[in-house]
Copies of this chain bind each other. A is one copy, B any other.
Amino acid sequence: MLAWAVPACDHGGMVDLGLRQVSLVLFDGFELLDATGPLEVFGQVGDRVGVTLVGPRSGPVASSQGIRLMADVAYAGAPAPDIVLVPGGSGTRALAGDRDWLAWLAAWAGPARLVASVCTGAALLAAAGLLDGHRATTNRRAADWVAGLGPGVTWVQDARWVEDGDRWTSAGVSAGLDMALALTATLWGQAAADAAAAAMEYGWMATPCG
């Protein structure tokens, strides 16, 4: 059992307002809502954001639930990313030990403007070294496993999500919705985030410590 930091509830105020591109990383056994919750939020933002689904191959990639999303492009051909989002899911268990894949993730995602994860997606960021020196959180139930992959990370317990500069991480599954709304507020303004939550009829947990 690793020591956990006290919650850090600061929330960045930067507003970008520009056109952004989100690259979502799919893999066999991703958790469906970890991916589609944030994608629904970004879909509400309209033409200020583009989304690319990156997978082991272009074509269908199966979630833990067996539901298949279509990847637009394979890892090997993925363009340099702007914003990277990594979901969790049962598939993280194998990938967290796959050194070749982690090396690809570190090299590809490292230079991105912002790297984010939902749930046990933080295991992959941690194992790739992408969270070293940062504060981060993850699914509560998998917390000890994930924390063991990132000894150089300050793990924050009981946060709904954690913003630490260019590394954002959320707690389990549905927390990705709240983080994506906060990211929307940061990138395109509070009004855009409020409008997205209203259109989704969603009771946004709008503070990082929920």
Show the binding face of A for B, using Cβ within 8 Å: 31-33, 36-37, 39-40, 42-43, 51, 53, 60, 63-70, 139-141, 171-175, 177, 199-203, 205
Q: List chain B residues, Cβ under 8 A from A40.
A: 31-33, 36, 65, 173
Cα(A36)–Cα(B67), bound, Å: 9
Contact B51 A66 (CB under 8 A): yes
In the complex, what's the smallest C-beta–C-beta distance from A41 to chain B, in angstroms? 9
Q: A139-B201, A171-B201, A200-B33 are in contact. Are A51 and B65 (CB under 8 A)?
A: yes
Cα(A60)–Cα(B66), bound, Å: 14
In the complex, what's the smallest C-beta–C-beta distance from A56 to chain B, in angstroms? 15
Cα(A106)–Cα(B205), bound, Å: 39
Show 25 A/B contacts (Cβ-Cβ < 8 Å), sorted by A: A32-B39, A32-B43, A33-B40, A36-B36, A36-B37, A36-B67, A39-B65, A40-B65, A40-B173, A43-B63, A43-B65, A43-B67, A51-B67, A67-B70, A68-B70, A70-B70, A139-B201, A140-B201, A171-B201, A172-B200, A173-B201, A173-B202, A174-B202, A203-B203, A203-B205
Q: List chain B residues, Cβ under 8 A from A66.
A: 43, 51
Known: A43-B64, A51-B65, A174-B201. 9 other contacts (CB 8 A): A32-B43, A43-B66, A60-B60, A68-B69, A68-B70, A139-B201, A141-B199, A173-B199, A203-B205
Q: List chain B residues, Cβ under 8 A from A139.
A: 201
Q: List chain B residues, Cβ under 8 A from A39.
A: 32, 65, 67
Cα(A29)–Cα(B148), bound, Å: 42
In the complex, what's the smallest C-beta–C-beta distance from A39 to chain B, in angstroms? 5
Cα(A62)–Cα(B205), bound, Å: 29
Cα(A20)–Cα(B32), bound, Å: 20
Contact B65 A70 (CB under 8 A): no
In the complex, what's the smallest C-beta–C-beta distance from A7 to chain B, in angstroms? 15
